[in-house]
């Protein structure tokens, strides 16, 4: 971080950057710094290579109050596991009460600092206060959950000069840490930890369904141990009401355990405390599967997880194949086919593994063209499909395994125009079907249990606007909605809660949160991973672009998909080995193999979908 200033005094360097590859040590943060006066625009360190480690430097003898504040802020961005060096900038009392783990505040740029008015009663030459301020981007709370934020940030730190040593130290400061966005990206990484849906099992298999819970961990501070502790501590508060953990309450790592790493056989051994000592084998393997899903998300080379009791004895051992038999996880389920509508509005399909461009009609009424369709959704088992007619008026469900009659519409909209009628439908792993009616006189999200019977009106108490698009997550406990209000579309993700009252099921979508803060138009979206969506849209004043977003509103690492113009619809699978497919106004149905450019599939086609 550096600072603009009035004057040209130099400040001392306050942290070192070490390159693991060559062992060289470079001093960083040597921008000019005044000994007094207002300070502004403390810039973040440019994002570094993954091998770069940043070590905090302690305060130097006779450092000025401004250098103490600057050094403390820079120490917050180091790889110091317990912020021990940052505490050296504090008084003894402040060091004992400061809790950096409570919150990380992310600013667009590094924090600006300037002299603040002294509090009443502390107006003396041996005390001074500085305001730390900036434009907020996000916060990460004590559960390591990311939340987008906006507006200004302004907090005050107060310093005193020790009467005996004559050294300035911070004696009052806000809890948590604060840093610029580039420092945050270097210091933290987003990782999914996994729990099981409370009341959902996967289709006919009856397996528990794994649900991703994204959190941010410090990427160079024993991240595997951090992530395991986070998993054992339980789900984030947003997801908690709809998932369960197989770990007994109070389960933690054995006292003193740190530095968890896989051995030379790629096995990770996890020693647990006494709370996990009296579990059965089925529960143990579920616990190990949770851990394996979680740590593989951080370190894909981990091949198995072994749980160890508090006395060092083996509990159970689960490898990747075992874990897939224990729980159903969307990102490991490769779809058999890509589906879309041909020029005659019939449902056709082609194998996902090939590179061909020929498609065949599906069995049944949808393939025969009994009703021309506008949009479709295929169930996760690929045996059933739902279709909305070409006028967006009626919803039908049909078998994909046999011929037969189409039957009656399961839902009909009375909207006056096509844009005021039904959205495209969507299936979850339970076999439940979701669709929204855009009728201005009666806008409503519906769920049809197992894709049959009476549509159930879903309650969304926080909804402010009209639903334009619906994509339910495979796990059945999260749903993505494109909501329009005053001509702007936003992408919101909500939590699905199911309750029973007098043998009657009630379904609600609660705690809606934005997955694309800053966007004013969302054209299309699809789930593209266990906690990731691919979105087509534009920000204010921008052009249409396709990008990935996390459900918590953060931007995942990695490149965005190759540019494509005129996108009307996009399809992705939770399995990232399957290529993106889009409906382009200029080129028809196109697909994007990994690391390649968009390739034309068919000119005359629309509404591409993978199962879901």
Q: How far apart are CA 205 and CA 241, in angstroms?
A: 24
Look at the chain and report how many structural domains it folds into: 3
For the entire predicted model, the pTM comes to 0.89
Which of 289, 304, 330 marks a domain boundary? 330
Which of 154, 187, 220 marks a domain boundary? 187
Q: Which residues pair with 589 in a beta bridge?
A: 583, 602
SS3 content of the chain, % helix, strand, coil (to 5): 15, 40, 45
Residue % of the chain over a pLDDT of 70: 90
Q: pLDDT of 115-142, one tens digit each?
A: 886 656 555 789 999 999 999 999 999 9
Query: Do residues 153 and 268 share a domain?
Result: no
3-state secondary structure 433-490: EEEEECCCCCCEEEEEHHHCCCCEEEECCCCCCEEEEEEECCCCCEEEEEEEECCEEE
Q: Which phi and psi (to 5°) does residue 7 adopt? A: 110, 180
Question: Dihedral of CA 421/426/428/429: which sign?
Answer: positive
Q: How far apart are CA 244 and CA 145, in angstroms?
A: 17
At residue 405, the pLDDT reads 85
Q: How far apart are CA 499 and CA 392, in angstroms?
A: 30
Residue 468's CATH number: 2.120.10.30
Q: Which residues of 386-414 are buried (b: 16+ CB within 10 A; e: fewer)?
A: bbbbeebbbbbbbbbeeeeebeeebbebe
Concatenating the DSSP letter of every residue in 176-224 gives SEEEEHHHHHHHEEEEEEEEEEEEEEETTTTEEEEEEEEEEEETTS-HH
CA angle in degrees (0–180, nearest 5) for 335-338-341: 150
Q: Which phi and psi (to 5°) does residue 295 adopt? A: -70, -30
Element (H, E) at 492: strand 488-501
- Go through the chain and tell me how many residues it has: 612
Query: Chain centroid to CA 549: how far?
Result: 7
Residue 377 contacts residue 612 (beta carbons within 8 Å): yes
Query: Do residues 382 and 431 share a domain?
Result: yes
Q: How far apart are CA 217 and CA 470, in angstroms?
A: 31
- The edge-to-edge listing of strands for the beta sheet with 444-448 is 426-427, 433-437, 444-448, 456-458
Stretch among 153-162, 404-413, 454-463 having the lowest mean pLDDT: 404-413
Q: How far apart are CA 583 and CA 606, in angstroms?
A: 6
Inform me whether the pLDDT recorded for 35 exceeds 50. no
Following CA atoms 549, 553, 554, 556 in sequence, which dihedral angle do they give, to the nearest 10 degrees?
Answer: -20
Inform me whether the pLDDT recorded for 9 exceeds 50. no
Query: Do residues 291 and 382 share a domain?
Result: no
Query: Do residues 206 and 182 share a domain?
Result: no
Q: How does residue 45 score in pLDDT terms, banded at 50, 70 and 90? A: very low
Query: Do residues 90 and 43 share a domain?
Result: yes
**What number is the average pLDDT over the span 58-73?**
96
Which of 330, 362, 395 marks a domain boundary? 330
At residue 612, the pLDDT reads 94
At residue 122, the pLDDT reads 52
Element (H, E) at 410: none
Query: Do residues 323 and 335 share a domain?
Result: no
CA-wise closest residue to 388 among 457, 336, 446: 446
Inform me whether the pLDDT recorded for 12 exceeds 60. no
Q: How far apart are CA 424 and CA 175, in angstroms?
A: 46
Q: What single-letter DSSP state applies at residue 276?
A: G
Q: Which residues pair with 482 in a beta bridge?
A: 469, 491
Query: Do residues 30 and 163 share a domain?
Result: yes
Strand 146-148 versus strand 127-141 pairing type: antiparallel
Inform me whether the pLDDT recorded for 208 exceeds 60. yes
Residue % of the chain over a pLDDT of 90: 78
Query: Do residues 353 and 325 share a domain?
Result: no
Inform me whether the pLDDT recorded for 359 exceeds 70. yes
At residue 564, the pLDDT reads 92
CA-wise closest residue to 372 among 348, 349, 347, 350: 347
Six-digit token string for 109: 């740029």
Query: Do residues 453 and 570 share a domain?
Result: yes
At residue 502, the pLDDT reads 77
Q: Return all residues near 551 (Cβ < 8 A) that are at least 6 apart.
A: 214, 478, 480, 493, 515, 531, 532, 533
Following CA atoms 61, 66, 69, 73 in sequence, which dihedral angle do they give, to the nearest 10 degrees?
Answer: -100
**What number is the average pLDDT over the span 515-523?**
87
Six-digit token string for 450: 């197992």
Mean pLDDT of the residues in the chain = 89
Inform me whether the pLDDT recorded for 143 exceeds 60. yes
Query: Do residues 206 and 146 share a domain?
Result: no
Query: Do residues 551 and 582 share a domain?
Result: yes
Strands (DSSP E) contained in 65-126 are: 103-107, 112-116
Q: How far apart are CA 146 and CA 162, in angstroms?
A: 38
Q: What single-letter DSSP state applies at residue 291?
A: H
Distances (CA, A) of 343 to 340, 366, 400, 600: 10, 13, 20, 15
At residue 37, the pLDDT reads 45
Q: How far apart are CA 232 and CA 195, in angstroms?
A: 10
Query: Do residues 421 and 441 share a domain?
Result: yes
Stretch among 1-10, 347-356, 548-557 having the lowest mean pLDDT: 1-10
Strand, coil or helix: what is 120? coil
Inform me whether the pLDDT recorded for 25 exceeds 70. no
Distances (CA, A) of 477 to 112, 195, 470: 41, 12, 14
- The edge-to-edge listing of strands for the beta sheet with 207-218 is 207-218, 188-202, 243-244
Element (H, E) at 598: none
Host domain of residue 539? 331-609
Inform me whether the pLDDT recorded for 155 exceeds 80. yes
Six-digit token string for 89: 């900038």
């Amino acid at each position: 971080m550096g600072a603009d200033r009035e004057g040209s005094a130099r400040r001392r360097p306050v942290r070192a950057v070490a390159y693991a590859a060559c062992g060289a040590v470079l001093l960083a943060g040597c921008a000019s710094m005044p000994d007094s006066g207002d300070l502004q625009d403390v810039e973040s360190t440019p994002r570094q290579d993954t091998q770069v480690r940043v070590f905090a430097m302690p305060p130097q003898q006779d450092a000025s109050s401004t250098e103490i504040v600057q050094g403390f802020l820079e120490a917050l961005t180091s790889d110091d596991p317990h912020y021990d060096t940052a505490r050296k900038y504090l008084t003894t009392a402040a060091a004992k009460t400061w809790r950096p783990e409570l919150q990380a505040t992310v600013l667009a740029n590094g924090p600006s600092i300037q002299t603040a008015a002294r509090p009443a009663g502390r107006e003396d030459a041996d005390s001074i206060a500085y305001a730390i301020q900036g434009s907020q981007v996000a916060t990460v709370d004590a559960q390591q959950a990311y939340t987008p934020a906006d507006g200004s940030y302004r907090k005050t730190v107060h310093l005193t000069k020790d009467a005996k040593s004559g050294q300035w130290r911070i004696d009052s400061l806000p809890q948590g840490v604060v840093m610029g966005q580039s420092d945050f990206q270097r210091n933290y990484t987003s990782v999914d930890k996994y729990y099981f849906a409370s009341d959902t099992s996967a289709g006919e298999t009856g397996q528990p369904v794994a649900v991703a819970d994204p959190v941010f961990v410090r990427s160079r501070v024993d991240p595997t141990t951090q992530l395991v502790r986070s998993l054992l501590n339980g789900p984030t508060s947003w997801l908690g009401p709809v998932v369960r953990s197989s770990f007994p309450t109070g389960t933690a790592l054995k006292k003193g355990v740190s530095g968890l790493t896989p051995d030379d056989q790629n096995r990770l051994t996890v020693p647990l405390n006494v709370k996990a000592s009296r579990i059965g084998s089925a529960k143990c393997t579920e616990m190990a599967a949770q851990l394996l899903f979680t740590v593989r998300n951080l370190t894909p080379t981990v091949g198995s997880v072994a749980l160890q009791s508090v006395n060092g004895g083996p509990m159970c051992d689960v490898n990747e194949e075992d874990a897939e038999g224990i729980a159903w996880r969307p990102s490991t389920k490769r779809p058999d086919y890509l589906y879309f509508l041909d020029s005659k509005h019939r449902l056709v399909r082609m194998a996902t593994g090939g590179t061909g461009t020929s498609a065949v009609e599906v069995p049944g009424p949808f393939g025969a063209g009994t009703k021309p369709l506008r949009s479709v959704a295929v169930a996760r088992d690929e045996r059933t499909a739902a279709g909305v007619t070409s006028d967006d008026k009626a919803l039908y469900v049909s078998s994909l395994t046999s011929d037969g009659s189409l039957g009656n519409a399961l839902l009909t909209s009375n909207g006056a125009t096509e844009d005021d009628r039904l959205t495209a439908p969507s299936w979850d792993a339970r076999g439940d079907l979701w669709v929204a009616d855009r009728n201005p006189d009666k806008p409503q999200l519906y769920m049809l249990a197992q894709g049959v019977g009476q549509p159930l009106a879903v309650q969304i108490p926080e909804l402010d606007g009209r639903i334009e698009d619906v994509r339910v997550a495979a796990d059945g406990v999260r749903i993505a909605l494109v909501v329009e209000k005053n001509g702007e579309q936003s992408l919101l993700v909500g939590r699905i809660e199911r309750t029973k009252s007098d043998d009657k099921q009630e379904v609600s979508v609660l705690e809606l949160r934005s997955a694309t803060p800053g966007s004013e138009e969302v054209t299309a979206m699809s789930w593209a991973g266990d906690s990731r969506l691919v979105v087509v849209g534009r920000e204010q004043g921008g052009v249409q672009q396709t990008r990935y977003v996390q459900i918590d509103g953060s931007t995942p690492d990695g490149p965005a998909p190759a540019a494509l113009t005129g996108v009307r619809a996009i399809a992705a699978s939770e399995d990232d080995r399957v290529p993106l497919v889009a409906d382009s106004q200029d080129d028809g149905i196109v697909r994007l193999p990994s690391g390649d450019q968009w390739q034309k599939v068919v000119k005359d086609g629309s509404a591409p979908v993978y199962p879901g």
